Amino acid sequence: MAVSKSPAFLSQLRSTLGRIAYNASGFNKYGLMHDDVLYETPDVQEAIRRLPTKLVDERNYRILRALQYSGLKKYLPRNEWTKYEEDVRYLQPYLEEVIRERKEKEAWEKMF
């Protein structure tokens, strides 16, 4: 019984902690998403290059708006903050593919 309950309990705990960490990180107050504030490593740059135009436009809009509000030393109105549930990891599929391709290349290079 206890065993069958624990995964549900753990995932609830995980999402609660995730929400606290997400709100504490602060970028959501500028209307940004998690994937908007990644360090632009070569992998991330390549993933951004592969994004469909619509997603790139939306990303650029969010970043421009955040810079504007940051310059004004203001946050967005509270109802426009990105919510934890509404954050989409739009870059992850592309990023995973880029990393997979890089690792494949590195594995080949090791053989020679």
Partner 1 sequence: MASKFLSTQTVKATRGFAVQTAAKPAATEFSPIPREPVKTTTLSNGIVVASIETNAPLSRVGIAFKAGTRNEPARKEGLVHLLRMTSSLSNKQSTQFSLTRIINQAGAALTCTSGREHVLYSVDATRQHIDAVLSKLADAATQQAFKPWELADNMHKIKLDLAAVQPQTQVIELLHKAAFRTGLANSLFCPPHLVGKHTSDSLQSFVAANLRSDNAAVVGVGISHDRLVAYAQSLALNPGKPVSLIPSKVNAGEVRVDTNSPLAYVAVATAGASLADTKSMVTFALLQRTLGTGIPVKYGSGAGSKLNQAVLGSGAVSALNLNYSDAGLFGFIAAAPAADAGKVVSAAAKVLRTASVNDSQLSRAKAQLKADLLMTQENTGALLEELSLQTLLNRASTSADLLSTIDKVSAAEVNAVASKLASAKFAMASVGNLSNVPFVDEL
Q: Is residue 48 within 8 Å of residue 12, measured between CB atoms? A: no
* Sole binder of partner 1 in the list 14, 19, 49, 74 (CB under 8 A): 49
**C-alpha torsion 51→54→56→62, nearest 10:** -140
Whose Cβ is closer to partner 1: residue 40's or residue 109's? 109
Whose Cβ is closer to partner 1: residue 4's or residue 53's? 53
Of the listed pieces 33-41, 48-56, 60-68, 73-81, which binds partner 1 according to CB under 8 A?
A: 48-56
Distance, in Å, from the CA atom of 19 to the CA atom of 46, rounded to the nearest integer, reads 29
Distance, in Å, from the CA atom of 84 to the CA atom of 66, rounded to the nearest integer, reads 17
Distance, in Å, from the CA atom of 109 to the CA atom of 54, rounded to the nearest integer, reads 36
- Decide if residue 83 touches partner 1 (CB under 8 A): no
- Decide if residue 52 touches partner 1 (CB under 8 A): yes
Chain contacts with partner 1 (rule: CB under 8 A): 49-50, 52, 101, 104-105, 108
